[in-house]
Amino acid sequence: MSTNLYQDMPPFIHGDHKMKTLSRLDVRPQYVHHLAPKPPAEANQSAPKHKDWKQMCVKRSVTSVISLLILLLLAGILLAYYFSSTCIHGLQCGDSSCVWASQWCDGVEDCPAGQDEANCVRLHGSGFVLQVYGSGGWRNVCSRGWSAQQGRASCLEMGYSRGTFFQSGQQRVTSEGGFFQLKSDFYPEASILQQFVLTNSCPDDSVVTLQCTDCGRGVNSSRPSAGTWPWQVSLQLAGSHYCGGAIVSPYWLVTAAHCVLRDPRPAAWTVYTATVNPLDTLFTPAHFVSHIVIHEGYNSLTHTGDIALMRLKKPLDFTDSNIGPVCLPNIGLNITDQQHSWITQLSGSGDAGSGFLYLKGVQVSIMDSVECNRSSQYRGRISQDMLCARGTDEAVCQADSGSPLVTLKNGVWWLTGDTIWGDKCTEHNIGVHSNISYFQAWIHQQMKKHQND
């Protein structure tokens, strides 16, 4: 059955209001003209959108240019820093040159003046534990395979004269940073610094102790007498006592810089050692100076860097019980005011002919630098290379320039300071001394530098 698609359509009404039935032929498609709606505003604004895109490109271009300029500026700063500091990837030699960190303390001098090999071996603490620098740090040395031969080579590295060596020992310590172990084959002709390899542990945690001289001995540790202090020397100009000093090795003496600046010529000075009996002639025999080293940082106004070294032409004979060195303070040696400290001095009048000079000792206590720097005392003039020592009377203020300040710790006497100045000494009985611990590395560096003078 077919369906008439037009049977339900209403008839058209004409003007005579008569209804006429539409036939299929009368039906025509009806077309209605519709106006297209306006597009949305944003879709119809192609020109402003194009303009915004251009502005965005300009902004991005400006930002890129600014970023590039900033990067170029930073690169320029880094390059300037690199060329102004040539050791950005290495260590400074002391002049305008530098070397790689791996070249430091490798047994080969790469710096023009040899600074890279100057301070590579040291002693630590009151136990004289040997330490060697390498692979970026200081490490103890395993005692396995160690002998006097390696001990002498290590003393040589620290600036002592060839053959100077007292004894090696061992001590148990633990370390998280590893150790140095002697290589299986030792070559005496090679530097001791080339004879080690890194190891994580030592057998029984046993490491090397080393003493290059039998220092800091020979004085009654409970109550030193007015007799000898075997390291005390008299430095004389034109036959008269001028300054004091301390023996630290067979060849080397420590004194004050302002003393030797009076006449820096080695030939102008004569050195005499003290004796046990103050009634004996003080000035026999005479010793002569081959070289004088004055600290390059000495300032006569501030008294900083007031230290000097004298090297003797011939070594002192330590088999004489009246002569012996005081110990240079090792790294890590903790000196406090609890230890006994003494200033030794030569008093009286006389010359090389009469010998009427007597050796005296004055007990003192080392002060905290903050206390010494108070306005009522030295008003902030005590720098880190100085220390203060206080006594009970004005005898503290009578010590000669360059006279040693020594401290007893663990049965050993250490050179803590040398007398340099004290403009308020008589007011508070406080003297000022060079801090030898501060200058310890400098002393060994100069000893090695002038080892053959």
Closest CA to 415 of 319, 356, 343: 343
Using the structure block, give the residue that is written with the tokens 């008569």. Answer: 18
95 is catalytic: no
Angle subtended at Cα 308 by Cα 359 and Cα 430, rounded to the nearest 5 degrees: 55
Q: Find the helix or strand (DSSP H, E) in which 154 lies.
A: helix 148-157
124 is catalytic: no
Q: How far apart are CA 120 and CA 108, in angstroms?
A: 12
Q: Which of 106, 110, 116, 306 is catalytic?
A: 306
Both structure tokens of 223 = 């109550």
Question: Long-range contacts of range 133-138, CB-CB < 8 Å, 24 or more positions apart?
Answer: 133/104, 133/105, 134/105, 134/106, 134/180, 134/193, 134/196, 134/198, 135/198, 136/101, 137/177
Q: 237 in helix, strand or coil?
A: strand
Both structure tokens of 154 = 């290590």
CB 219 within 8 A of CB 413: yes
Cis preceding linkage at 285, omega within 30: yes
Closest CA to 326 of 389, 391, 387, 408: 408
Q: Which of 161, 206, 234, 258 is catalytic?
A: 258
Q: 43 in helix, strand or coil?
A: helix
Exposed/middle/buried for 218, CB within 10 Å: 0-12, 13-18, 19+?
middle
Q: Find the helix or strand (DSSP H, E) in which 172 lies.
A: strand 167-172
Q: Which of 154, 234, 249, 401 is catalytic?
A: 401
| Distance from chain centroid for Cα 357 | 41
CB 281 within 8 A of CB 275: yes
CB 358 within 8 A of CB 345: no
Using the structure block, give the residue that is written with the tokens 């310890």. Answer: 440
418 is catalytic: no
| Distance from chain centroid for Cα 54 | 60
CB 389 within 8 A of CB 405: yes
Beta-bridged to residue 431, according to DSSP, are: 389
Catalytic residues: 258, 306, 401
